[in-house]
Structures are given as C-alpha cells and as structure tokens.
Amino acid sequence: MPLRMLCVLTLIGLSGLSLTGCHDSTTQEKPAPTQVGVVTLKGQFFTYSSDLTGRTTATLTSSVLPQVGGIIQKRLFKEGDEVKAGQPLYQIDPSSYKATYDQAAAALQSAKALVIADCQKARRYSILVKEQGISQQDAEDATATCGEDKASVAEKAAALESDKINLDWTRVNAPISGRIGISTVTPGALVTADQTTALTTITALDSMYVDLTRSSVDLLELRKRALATNSNTLSVVLTLEDGSTYAEKGKLELTEVSVDEATGSVTLRAVFPNPQHLLLPGMFVHASVDEGVIENAILAPQQAIIRDPKGNATALVVDANNKVVLRNVVTSTPSGQDYLILNGLQAGDRVIVEGTSKVNAGDVVKPVESTLNAKPAATSTTQGAA
C-alpha cells in the first residue's frame, strides 16, 4: 500500500476516535433534584394566651363591729355557717338603752300633752283679743308658747328615735350575706362603740376575684391584640394549687389604672363564679388568659424558620416550579412547636422543614409532603410576671 494512502487511513481512524469520545461526554445524565420535606401552610383559628400567677380575693367582705358599748350577752350564730344579711349575730345587754328609750318616750308624751293645752289656750286667746277680752300681748304670748311646745314635741320625737336606734343596735346583725368566720369575743366580754377590733368577719363566697400581675410591656401587647382581634371580653381559666383545673371560667374585669414604679407591673383582676365555694380568699393560683382569636392565622413549624447571625428570621419556600425561594419573615412568640407568622408567608406556601441544609435559594428540588409530627398549635402562651 502506498505511504500516502496509509497516512489518510490513519487520520480517519483518529478522527473517529475523537468524535466517539466527544459524543460520550455530551450524553452524561444530569444529577436528580434534591428531595426535601415540605409543609403546606394553611390558615386556621389561633388563640393568644398568657400564663399568669395570682391570688384569690373575696368580692365582698365585711368586718362586724359594735355600734354601741356594753356586755355581750349571747352569740347567736355558729362559726363557719352561712348567714343572711340582717341575721342577728350578737346580743349586747340592752337594759340601760331600754331605760333611756322609755324615758324619751315618756318625755315625748308629756310634750304632746303640753301642746294640746297650750295650743287650745292660744286659740281661745285669739278669739278673746278680737273682743278685747284680753290684751294683744297675752294673745301673742299664748301663740308663741304653742309654737315652742310643738318644737319641743319634734325634739322629743327625734331623741326617742335616736334612743330607739341605740336600743336596736344592741342586737348586732349581719351587714351582708356570706360565710361567717371565727368570733373574737365570747358572752361576758365588754365591747365599745369606738373599738377597731372586729367581733367577726363575713365573707361572700358566691363569686371570687383573682388578682393577677403582669408587666406593663405585656399589658401594651395585650391591648394591641385585643384591638387586632376585636376582643372585648377576655376569658380566664384557673389551675389550682393541686394542679387541677377549676371548672368555672372567669373573665377579665378590671385593669389597675397605674403602674407600680418599683416593679413595672400592673394588676389585672378577673372575676369567677364560685357556686361550690371551692375558692377561698388568699389561695395561690395559676391563670391562663385568652387574649384574642385570629381567624386566619398562619402557623409555621419551628424547623422551617432559619435565623441569621443578627437574629432575623427567614424561610425557604418551594414555588410552583419547584424552585427554592428565600423569604424574609416576621414571627411572633413561639406557640408549642410552631411560630405564628406575622408577615412573609401565606396560606398555600410550601415551606421546607427537612433538608434545608442541602439546598440553596434558586435550586430546583423534589418536594415531598413531610410527615413531621407537629400538629399546628391553636394557642400562643406567654409567661407573665408573678
């Protein structure tokens, strides 16, 4: 074979090898998209709640004090019983007050008899003076005496009423209805009208206040939530000292009008029905205050929220083309295993909760609905000051 022909065949062979190598390089398969776990966000009802501590206080209490002095003759109640308003509790010796009352009654009768005599005389004189049977001065004196007698009757009647009040006060009655406490005196004890020591105390237990304390900053947040959720009445649930939940729900009734300068806290007052008298004044309790409901709240699992070194929150979202998008989000306080999203995410967004470290914004991924066992919470709980 000629040398020229051999060189041509050799070049053709080398070209074929080169083309075959290029063809193999361009037909290599692309890597499969990274599989990530996602959760599709949905709007739901969400309740704000705060856990606070406090103590129970009676809605109505009364110290029983004597209005007159004397010796206690009888105690007319059993300690710890339920009493009604107006029910007799103690009997103070009434003898001296009865004598004074009788004396005032007799004085009134005497004054009334004098009115009859003197006023009749004044009427006769008014006739005689017209006939010039007596002087004008005598007639005027008789009229004046009649008037003085009438004033004396009014004075004696007022004195009699005062003595009757004092006599009635010797029977010490219950000022309010409720449960009566321990008596501080026994029969034979001397009491006075100006003493400061109560004979006993009556406490109404049909309803009970619970005074709670929270910081003024939290109170501002509470008011914002109430405005945002149109909540006028905030319900309260109690947990008792033994860990049990009190059956009756209460409502927040009052907020103190000033802030304690020493602690920066404000007192909130809730009222609870107490039909079984289970709550007693002075009990330490935990209270959960429902502060409002958002109808279409967005809750995202905490695994979906990424924090940068400055603490800013972001989330990786898979769009309709399965491409990863970085979103800046604003979160509220954690609620269980979720964050309440205030801004940045909406219903229908697919947020990555598994595999976030394997992908970056702009990557195309294979989203798979996550089996993350984290049911969205329905309540946000914040801790209040004790």
- Ordered by start, the domain boundaries in the chain are 34-48+295-383, 50-59+205-292, 73-93+170-197, 94-168
Out of 19-23, 89-93, 291-295, least confident range: 19-23
Map residue 343 onto helix, strand or coil.
strand
232 pLDDT band, cuts 50/70/90, is low
296-308 confidence digits (pLDDT tens): 888 889 888 998 8
Residue percentage of the chain with pLDDT more than 70: 81
DSSP assignments along 141-152, one per residue: HHHHHHHHHHHH
On whether the pTM is more than 0.75, the answer is: no
Integer CA distances (angstroms), 363 to 79, 113, 323, 359, in order: 79, 115, 6, 6
Q: Stretch 231-258: mean pLDDT, rounded?
A: 81
* Cβ neighbours of residue 175 closer than 8 Å, sequence gap 6 or more: 62, 64, 85, 202
Q: State the angle between helix axes of 95-130 and 136-169 in degrees (0 to 180), rounded to the nearest 10.
A: 160
Instruction: Return the CATH number of the domain spanning residue range 50-59+205-292.
Output: 2.40.30.170
Top CATH class, 34-48+295-383: mainly beta
CATH architecture of 73-93+170-197: Beta Barrel (2.40)
User: In angstroms, rounded to a whole number, what is the distance separating the alpha carbons of residues 274 and 210?
Assistant: 12
Instruction: Return the CATH number of the domain spanning residue range 94-168.
Output: 1.10.287.470
* Cβ neighbours of residue 381 closer than 8 Å, sequence gap 6 or more: 49, 50, 51, 288, 335
pLDDT at 294: 76
Asked whether 35 and 363 are in contact (CB, 8 A), the reply is: no
